[in-house]
Structure 1
Amino acid sequence: MSLTFTDLFCGAGGSSTGLVAAGYTLRLAANHSRVAVESHAANHPDAEHLCVDINHYDMRRLPRGCDVLWASPICQESSPAGGRKRGAKGQMALELEEFGPVENGTWERTRATAYDVIRATEIHRYAAVLCENVVEFAVDWELFDWWRTGMHHLGYRSQVVSVSSAHIGGPDNTHAPQWRDRIYIVFTRNGIPAPDLTPHPAAWCTECGEQVAAVQSWRNGRRIGKYKQQYDYRCPNSQCRHALVEPYVRPAAEAIDWSDPGTRIGDRRRPLAASTMARIRAGLAAYPAHRTVLTVNHSGHDGRAFPADSAPLPTRTIKIGDGLLVPAGGTWNQDATATTEPMRTRMANPKGYEALVTTPLIYEYRNHSTMEPVTRPLATVTAQGNHHALVIPYRNGNLPKPTGEPLHTVSTHDSAALVGPAPAVEDCWFRMLQPREQLLAQRFPADYIVHGTKGEQTMQAGNAVSCNVAQWIGERLAAAMDRTAAHAA
């Protein structure tokens, strides 16, 4: 008999999809957004759905007898991507024009508050309560400890897990190709074993010369934080003195539809914003023959670029965030980054902060030990450099060629040929990342149904819980619950 659960603030269904993949049965999903509930119901038709303001909902009406509650109460003000309201102008107006309007209720109020978790738990006394939130929820919210203690008073123990979606997965649970630092607060009722939620992503230790199960190494005694800011991963072996390692990650390229190169910049009906053009030029000057992704942030970053064979993004501050695929409007993250890197944290903002820029040159690259031809599926890559350099070719007036098509015959040498000088910006191809790509970056199934305008779909992707992390937590909780059942028998 599978465990049953209720999903409050369900959004489009990342948490529900992950728990269902872990073997759970969804009883009810609730959210205030009409379009999010429509999306959720289309993919989970056997569950009951509520479109209500959870703050004012009588929790006694929730399904009784559920084993687990999942709730993702995120205050937009806590998020590094929350920002302030701004009028649409320049590149932002162009994005809104492309992605379409967003329902006012959906845009202005993305989540209800954390207090509803306590209200629901007080009545239903779930065996476990699972919460997802941004790191700032714990470190910046003055009442976090009070809120957590409230659950302790109801008879629960708690643990806070800090992970990036890029590092979580397993044999039947593919990692998300996106950097997404989140905390997961897991409450288990007294008498139920706490699940083992210690992350051990696979990594290659160059010192030991072997693959290892990496361990989190916290800086300065911190236990809540972000990868490369408050913690790293190290080799578990003492012979290498627990060397720093980089867990394997999936490249952002796996979430991108490379058959759609976008529009040649010189042929655009409306010109790109001056700031966007400046960032594209900076990326081309640094890496003229690599596919790059440009991102934007709130203020004066220089928009430096990363080639397709580079390592994942360097350490980020909260201000800059975890950037990935593209700079085209918005005011958050303006780095150019490689498509081998996990996609940056998806934002709920429908303005589509990311766009794909490809250069009109042919560039082929093979590493002696780690590179596969681009005609084969991309394998999991490490966070170190020289991996999966993919480009869209463009020569002699031909349109960019998707990577799913064969390349011309290559030599047996493990080397690359770079043809031509850096292209003119006007000859590059540019487009905004589409909602389907953003959903894939959250590890939604490829056939997942999402309703609404492109802007609303983008927002649903940005608000979602990464499916792979929800599945990982669900599987480990189920294992703990099984131990309880076996002991009782």
Structure 2
Amino acid sequence: MQLDLFREIIVDNFAGGGGASTGIEMATGLSVDIAINHDPAAIAMHKANHPDTEHYCESVWDVDPVEAVKGRKVGLAWFSPDCKHFSKAKGGKPVEKKVRGLAWIAVKWAIAVKPRVIMLENVEEFKTWGPLTPEGYPDDNQKGKTFNSFVKTLEAIGYKVEFKELKACDYGAPTIRKRFFMVARCDGKPIKWPKPTHADPNSLEVQAGKLQPWKAASEVIDWSIGTPSIFDRKKPLAENTMRRIARGIKRFVVNEANPFIVRIGQTGFGKDRLQYELGKPLTTITTKAEHCLVTPFLATYYTETTENGVRGQTLQAPIATIPTANRFGLVTAFVAQHYKTSIGHKLEQPLGAITTVNKASLVTAFLMKYYGSDIGQSVNDPLHTVTTKDRFGLVTIEGKDYQIVDIGMRMLQPHELYAAQGFPEQYVIDRDHEGKPYPKTQQVARCGNSVPPPFADALVRENLPEFCVSETRYKRAVAN
């Protein structure tokens, strides 16, 4: 590969699977020049998506910046040091001093090759970086001391430094992930922060047409997969999972239902497979039943994301922060118009099938188990008061009664999580550069550790416009 000694290069330290690199490429139209990461699996994914990049599979401390850049000037150096020993999700466990000090690598690069612009991403708690107690815990009396020293060191080298917290959903990614960003530059130009392009759908800016509404979780769900019934499982779900589903159904379906009409025709995810709000017109009705009324929500397994102790969220909002392990289950309550002779249908069955099965006994047993004020009862036990429990299963939508007839649940798939994180649809996540497949656990881990690409895209466009191409040009290049 012939080196261009006159062109400024871009370096991605802690490159991982390529989130920041992808965002930078979205802005510039070019792969980053150098990517560094100690994890062979992460580098393999990075190579699959950024084959033109020079990769270093080793510790950032073992890479000599002078040798790596080979005389070239560095326009941008991006750093996303390990954040697990700063994150509030870490809990009260002792921290590793070596990992907690990884951010100092930015100072090493600043001294060695003086990048014109440095960008650093981490969790919000990064600003609390300080000394540890002898027992290995953060010293509450010295919060932020090391962070302030870090900033002053960069300033002493000749950098102007600013930092701010940004939310991914404000820049077009359907996730609420909030991150700390630091921008430092030594070329005398001002540091600029990207203005949000999206906002809360109920905000005045969105209603006035000045900003786009946040992208919702529903936009990244692959509706072609379906959600298997929780009643047909060979191995019953854990009791705690059932409790979460029960509370979620009550919170998001019975009390605050906002159903979708889901089109289930074989039209392909990411193209014209659509979901519609109930009040909007349907697409053309074909000879096959393709539209079903379904009320979905996301059950989450790692944090309280709603009020009243319900772990979950509606699909109208951006998805919660994606961790390194899959914690999102798509739950769908299938509902059918309430007739005396109908028990409704599952998503995969034709719409409006009429039967003569005893609706009350079937649905009541199911509602007793999963919708009672407590965990409910077994269907093998004598029924409690039938009338009140039966009515609890009715949902009134625009003046019409609907009966909950089934519940489906599945975990979100990696390609849905990557879409929520803001990765482009064509990003390779299931195999490395040699075609070796990745297990789903590794795919999800790479996603949870990644920088949402829209962050890097927005920051680079704002601070390095001379590097950037139009969004249309990038999409055209990717398509070809």
With normalisation by structure 2, the TM-score equals 0.65
Alpha-carbon distance in 2 for matches of 1:467, 1:407: 43
Report if the CA contact (8 A) 2:194-2:462 is conserved: yes
Report if the CA contact (8 A) 1:328-1:432 is conserved: no
Query: For residues 354-373 of structure 1, what are the structure 2 equivalents within 5 Å?
Result: 354-362=328-336
Change (3 A) 1:328 1:252: closer
Q: What one-letter code is carried by the residue in structure 1 that aligns with 2:312?
A: A
Report if the CA contact (8 A) 1:203-1:211 is conserved: no
Change (3 A) 1:470 1:358: same
Matched, 1:258 2:223: yes
Change (3 A) 1:407 1:464: farther
Map of 1:36 onto structure 2: 42
Matched, 1:282 2:228: no
Map of 1:442 onto structure 2: 421
Q: What one-letter code is carried by the residue in structure 2 that aligns with 1:151?
A: L
Q: What one-letter code is carried by the residue in structure 2 that aligns with 1:16?
A: S
Secondary structure of 1:114's match? helix
Report if the CA contact (8 A) 1:77-1:83 is conserved: no
Change (3 A) 1:41 1:432: same
Map of 2:74 onto structure 1: 66
Secondary structure of 1:182's match? strand
User: In structure 1, which of residues 423, 426, 429 is the aligned counterpart of residue 408 of structure 2?
Assistant: 429
Q: Answer 1 or 2: which has greater helix percent.
A: 2
User: In structure 1, which of residues 321, 329, 335 is the aligned counterpart of residue 311 of structure 2?
Assistant: 335
Map of 1:22 onto structure 2: 27
How much does 1:112 deviate?
7.5
Secondary structure of 2:331's match? strand
| 1:330-371: CA deviation from partner (whole Å, max 9, x where unpaired) | 5675622101110111112x2x111100001158xxxxxxxx
Secondary structure of 1:260's match? coil
| 1:368-425: CA deviation from partner (whole Å, max 9, x where unpaired) | xxxxxxxxxxxxxxxxxxxxxxxxxx96444347xxx9999xxxxxx846543344xx
Report if the CA contact (8 A) 1:204-1:212 is conserved: no
Map of 2:394 onto structure 1: none
Report if the CA contact (8 A) 1:332-1:353 is conserved: no
Query: For residues 93-112 of structure 1, what are the structure 2 equivalents within 5 Å?
Result: none
> Identity of aligned pairs, percent?
27
Change (3 A) 1:361 1:474: same
**Paired residue total:** 348
How much does 1:117 deviate?
1.1
Matched, 1:155 2:158: yes
Change (3 A) 1:446 1:25: closer
Report if the CA contact (8 A) 2:345-2:351 is conserved: no
Query: For residues 124-139 of structure 1, what are the structure 2 equivalents within 5 Å?
Result: 124-139=113-128
Secondary structure of 1:159's match? strand
Alpha-carbon distance in 2 for matches of 1:449, 1:127: 31
Matched, 1:193 2:190: yes
Map of 1:48 onto structure 2: 54
Alpha-carbon distance in 2 for matches of 1:134, 1:325: 27
Alpha-carbon distance in 1 for matches of 2:83, 2:213: 31
Matched, 1:399 2:351: no
Query: For residues 450-489 of structure 1, what are the structure 2 equivalents within 5 Å?
Result: 450=429, 451=431, 452-479=438-465
* Uncovered stretches (5+) of structure 2, i.e. residues with no partner: 1-5, 131-143, 261-275, 278-295, 354-396, 432-437, 469-480
Report if the CA contact (8 A) 2:200-2:206 is conserved: no
Report if the CA contact (8 A) 2:163-2:180 is conserved: yes
Report if the CA contact (8 A) 1:18-1:469 is conserved: yes
Q: What one-letter code is carried by the residue in structure 2 that aligns with 1:282?
A: R
How much does 1:197 deviate?
3.6
RMSD (CA atoms): 3.5
Report if the CA contact (8 A) 1:134-1:181 is conserved: yes
Alpha-carbon distance in 1 for matches of 2:352, 2:74: 54
Map of 2:266 onto structure 1: none
Q: Which has the larger radius of gyration?
A: 2
Q: What one-letter code is carried by the residue in structure 2 that aligns with 1:421?
A: Q
Worse-superposed segment, 126-135 or 185-194: 185-194
Query: For residues 207-356 of structure 1, what are the structure 2 equivalents within 5 Å?
Result: 211=208, 248-286=213-251, 287-288=253-254, 326-327=298-299, 329-330=301-302, 335-348=311-324, 350=325, 352-356=326-330
| 1:123-174: CA deviation from partner (whole Å, max 9, x where unpaired) | 1101100111111111455311111111111111011121110011xxxxxx
Report if the CA contact (8 A) 1:8-1:72 is conserved: yes
Change (3 A) 1:251 1:198: closer
How much does 1:208 deviate?
9.2
Report if the CA contact (8 A) 2:345-2:352 is conserved: no
How much does 1:54 deviate?
1.5
Change (3 A) 1:29 1:407: farther
Alpha-carbon distance in 2 for matches of 1:208, 1:466: 24
Change (3 A) 1:266 1:42: same
Alpha-carbon distance in 1 for matches of 2:205, 2:161: 35
How much does 1:443 deviate?
0.9
Report if the CA contact (8 A) 1:130-1:184 is conserved: yes
